[in-house]
Amino acid sequence: MTLRITNLGKHYGEAPVFENVTLEVQPGEFVAIVGESGVGKSTLLNCMAGLDTWDQGTVMHDGTDIGALDGEACALWRRRHVGFVFQAFHVLPHLDVAQNVSLPLMLLGQKKDDGRVAHMLDAVGLPGMGARLPQTLSGGQLQRVAIARALVHRPALLLADEPTGNLDPTTAAKVMELLIGQTREHGASLVLVTHSESAAARADRLLHLTAGGIR
């Protein structure tokens, strides 16, 4: 999926978050975004998924103008095409790990696939932990549940907000392999917000977000 953002701008009241953000991400491409805390990286990622609104500019995915979709159409589009790793995980506390990971498949009306869920848990280094409840997991383990959930339906667009922020270097490298594998093997577009130099070094392009734009 080609993501094309043109002249995107957002502000809260008088205060601009970012302006003049223009970028394009091709299928199979991995773009990393860096920038100071509070510069709007999470906000920009949310806009890419239609999870937040903006004041100027457009967000296009192939032929779809995300800003023109109503809430329900946008949710359906996102379900089908987007895998999102939230900075704060947003793992659902009343579902066990396997149920959290299979949520995207369930929402797409696909039949229960325990094998695929188990495979994803193995891939993120959480083998056999499907029956655990989120409250029994560490921050790093919750982050990996969120990553497994974002990948399980093989989305065309992967958006990840500091996905290795809570992981030790070895686990972080493993998770990066998994995210990059999705782009290289399945042609997904990957946009990753990160403070990690080693994660950013793996990207095809590294972009710096500032109040005035992205470059």
Q: Which parts of this chain interact with ligand ADP (CB under 6 A)?
A: 12, 17, 35, 37-43
Closest approach of Mg ion to the CB of residue 43, in Å: 8
Closest CA to 121 of 178, 160, 79: 178
Shortest approach of Mg ion to residue 18 CB, angstroms? Answer: 12
Residues 71, 139: Cα–Cα separation, whole Å = 31
The CA angle 48-178-193, to the nearest 5 degrees, is: 35
Least CB distance to Mg ion at residue 165 (A) = 10
Query: What does 39 bind: ligand ADP, Mg ion, none (CB cut-off 5 to 8 Å by kind)?
Result: ligand ADP
12 makes contact, choosing from Mg ion, ligand ADP, none, with CB < 5 to 8 Å by partner type, with ligand ADP
Binding-site partner at residue 40 among Mg ion, ligand ADP, none, CB < 5 to 8 Å by type: ligand ADP
Whether the CB-CB separation of 208 and 41 falls below 8 Å is answered with: no
Q: Cβ 45 to Mg ion, closest distance in Å?
A: 8
For residue 71, what are the contacts with CB-CB under 8 A and spacing of at least 6?
none
Decide: residue 135, CB within 10 A, 0-12 exposed, 13-18 middle, 19+ buried. exposed
* Partner from ligand ADP, Mg ion, none binding residue 43, C-beta < 5-8 Å depending on class: ligand ADP
Sites of contact with Mg ion (CB under 5 A): 41-42
